[in-house]
Structure 1
């Protein structure tokens, strides 16, 4: 499989390619890449769910790359986050952040999300003029929410958003590595400032909890904060853009939620399934020989799970290329599965619900300002999202 980020057709619609691969074999071999070893791409739903929960597939990238020569120099706080660890270390770190994303914690954030959404929509142009949904709401809203949660000062939030975007740049490792050092240095400095002047943010709570745990290092603390800053808004930005585009290109479903805004919460799982904001789950590798989807994977093989492909598997979701808001899609894999399932899923769904309901209520005639096939998609393998989404309001 060639580099998909170089093919505009794949970026615009990867699902025909995934379908062809899945019909051939749901676990496809890939050319040698990271570590010089050939890997595997999982495109089937059942196989993806199995791989995501199999403890024989490790996420400890430091272990995988130990001793390997590489010109890449990402900061350790970015390269070795909670997402790149296994139990028991992963369990310990996840427990520290999970309490911030309980249903009760998210409910307390809803008024802030609503106020921020309204403030951003107040800045949209008057009726009949185009606006970029990504720049005007999908990007700044999740940044504001996660920065508010972590106590990032208002003036510093644009820097966080810029570094985050660069971390997901494809085809330019130097840009990614430079951004990783910038965001890690910023976060370490923010931790130091909060120690000197503590408050009641999530970051303050993490500092207190980590300082009381001898098994959690300072780098663990910084990497947790970096992960929350970056993953805490990047995927939600993409999910918002993908969801609105899906509705705008399915007039019947758009009309339904426009007339019945109370249906938006129930529609979220289908919107997340239909065009997943995370295209490919983060890196895994086999710690011993594994048979998956009829393929025999040797020990030490990199494994990439294509969540977007799995969510379009007709064996699990009939007519998967059709947006169907009557579909029961709660088993989608957009947030992953198993012990690494996205801890921030409840917050992401709250932001999606509030933002989509507000946009459809205030701008009932919203429509695409350009043909869908002219939209620019981000050139990255990991996430799937729009560079911009021009709409008429």
Structure 2
């Protein structure tokens, strides 16, 4: 690798992880498309502005699988990343063959089958259960004076929800927490082991559901088929369950944790929500825009030579939209650095790229919004004087590539009770 390559920006570098918003701003204001490195190993085009990011996510000239690029001799970023992490060859397909790594017609077929199960109505009907889970969790620490809301609230809520949806026994919830955390760590040794154990666990669960059907999403997935009678294969089932379980747990947990911290550091906006509770709906989208935990999309590839943002990109080149950067683009948003719980964003989608865009738009977006819409009011209504137990600058952000996540969220539930602050980690 040349010295010049080492100087290229990398969203997974220590510098970018330490201050992702300012780092993204510097790149965005320098150019809409910036040459960089992915994990210090794969050349990539970072797409920094909203309009150009929308193009990459929604335009058929950009694909998710290198095999969709005719005659490409380029480097498969996913393979390179898996090799660096030490993912065994037998487990790699469960990462590569999910819907996020597929293009039409395979992606269209898989998404159509899954959408028959993961419907808006099904998620809407979950709202009373979401509120019940949130209230139960709050009851569990209400008398303690202080709590770490990541461990006690942000993690267990979406984990319980997705496990109940999929039919994972309560006795296995802890296993899934560990597997999801390990997978998201992107640490050699940790991540491959978590993936391997997760594959084994899902395979066992699929077999149990084949023998003993239940009223859950997994049973429905096993039995559902399209108009041609096509069903998901066992490997497709395993891959999809892994995708749904991890996407429905880790990002949702940290979206909730980040949102709580964001509101606690913007008391004027929290007070506005107390005065105007009908604004929670717009507040959820604004919080996802502002502090969503996923900072970059999965890599895409240029299917043909294309010009984007005044930059020529060759067929087979790796292209990666920076979601955090695009969601703060002043060309799209008025005062993007300001939290405004009443902000009304324009379509498409929810007006931001926190859930992506185009054919790979997040299947769990509606569930994530429902969870935030239930969990945030439940917490702040129960603890109207809730406050951070540490200085905001001392909040322990995890140093994970491409992700913005809190290790802990220490709070005082009611300062009037004289509870002491939690020590920082």
TM-score, with structure 2 as normaliser: 0.86
Counterpart in the other structure of 1:264:
280
Q: Given the alignment of the two structures, is residue 15 of structure 1 paired with residue 29 of structure 2, yes or no?
A: no
Task: State the alpha-carbon separation in 2 of the partners of residues 66 and 335 from structure 1.
Answer: 22
Alignment of 1:73-152 (within 5 A): 73=87, 75=91, 76-126=93-143, 129-152=145-168
2:331 equivalent to 1:315: yes
Deviation at 1:294, TM superposition (A): 1.1
Residue 298 of structure 1 deviates from its aligned partner by 1.0
Change (3 A) 1:196 1:125: same
Q: Are the aligned partners of 1:130 and 1:391 in contact in 2 as well (CA < 8 Å)? A: yes
RMSD: 2.3
Q: Is the 8 A contact 1:286 1:297 kept in 2?
A: yes
Residue deviations 1:323-345, cap 9 Å, x none? Answer: 01232133111011111111111
Quote how far apart the aligned CAs of 1:259 are. Answer: 3.0
Q: How far off is 1:215 after superposition?
A: 6.7
CA contact (8 A) 1:276 1:307 kept: no
Q: Which of residues 28, 32, 35 is equivalent to 2:34?
A: 28
Out of 56-65 and 179-188, give the one that drifted further.
Answer: 56-65
Answering whether residue 385 of structure 2 is matched by residue 369 of structure 1, we say no
Aligned partners of 1:65, 1:217: CA distance in 2, in Å?
A: 25
String of CA shifts for 1:126-161, please: whole Å, max 9, x gaps.
Answer: 26x321111111110001001100000000011111
Aligned counterparts of 1:337 and 1:302: Cα–Cα separation in 2: 18
Alpha-carbon separation, structure 1, partners of 2:17 and 2:409: 15
Residue 30 of structure 1 and its aligned partner are, at CA, apart by: 1.1
Contact 1:82 1:93 in 2 (8 A): yes
Q: Is the 8 A contact 1:286 1:301 kept in 2?
A: yes
Asked if 1:189 corresponds to 2:204, the answer is yes
**Is the CA contact 2:222–2:231 (under 8 Å) kept in the aligned structure 1?**
no
Do the aligned residues in 1 keep the contact of 2:147 with 2:412 (CA within 8 Å)?
Answer: yes
Which of residues 260, 271, 294 in structure 2 aligns to 1:278? 294
| Secondary structure, counterpart of 1:236 in structure 2 | helix
Residue 338 of structure 1 corresponds to which residue in structure 2? 358
8 A Cα contact 1:101 1:346, kept in partner: no
Q: 1:6, CA displacement in angstroms?
A: 5.4
Query: What secondary structure does 2:116 align onto?
Result: helix
Tell me, yes or no, if the aligned pair for 1:235 and 1:383 is still in contact at 8 Å: no
Structure 1 segment 286-297 matched on structure 2, within 5 A:
286-297=302-313
Whether the aligned pair in 1 keeps the contact of 2:47 and 2:53 (CA below 8 Å) is yes
Q: Structure 2 matches for 1:54-65, cutoff 5 A?
A: 54-60=59-65, 65=76
Shifted more, 215-224 versus 196-205: the winner is 215-224
* Residue 243 in structure 1 maps to residue 266 in structure 2: no
Deviation at 1:31, TM superposition (A): 3.1
- In the TM superposition, what whole-angstrom CA distance separates every residue of 1:179-235 from its partner, at most 9, and x where no partner exists? 111111110110011001111210001111269854743211110111111111111
Aligned-pair distance for 1:261? 2.6
Unpaired runs of at least 5, structure 1: none
Tell which deviates more after alignment, 372-381 or 237-246.
372-381
Of the candidates 170, 176, 179, which is equivalent to residue 194 of structure 2?
179
Aligned mates of 1:336, 1:229 — CA distance in 2: 18
Query: Does the Cα contact within 8 Å between 2:42 and 2:77 map onto a contact in 1?
Result: no
Q: 1:33 to 1:253 in 2, by over 3 A?
A: closer
**Structure 1 stretch 65-74 or stretch 239-248: which is displaced more?**
65-74
Native 8 Å contact 1:168 1:382 kept in 2: no
Cα distance in 2 for residues equivalent to 1:147 and 1:377: 26
Q: Which deviates more, 9-18 or 260-269?
A: 9-18
| 1:379 aligned residue | 399
Q: What is the distance in 2 between the residues matched to 1:254 and 1:12?
A: 27
Aligned length: 389
Structure 2 runs not aligned, ≥5 long:
1-7, 69-74, 414-425
Deviations 1:252-276 (A, max 9, x none): 1011112333321221111111112
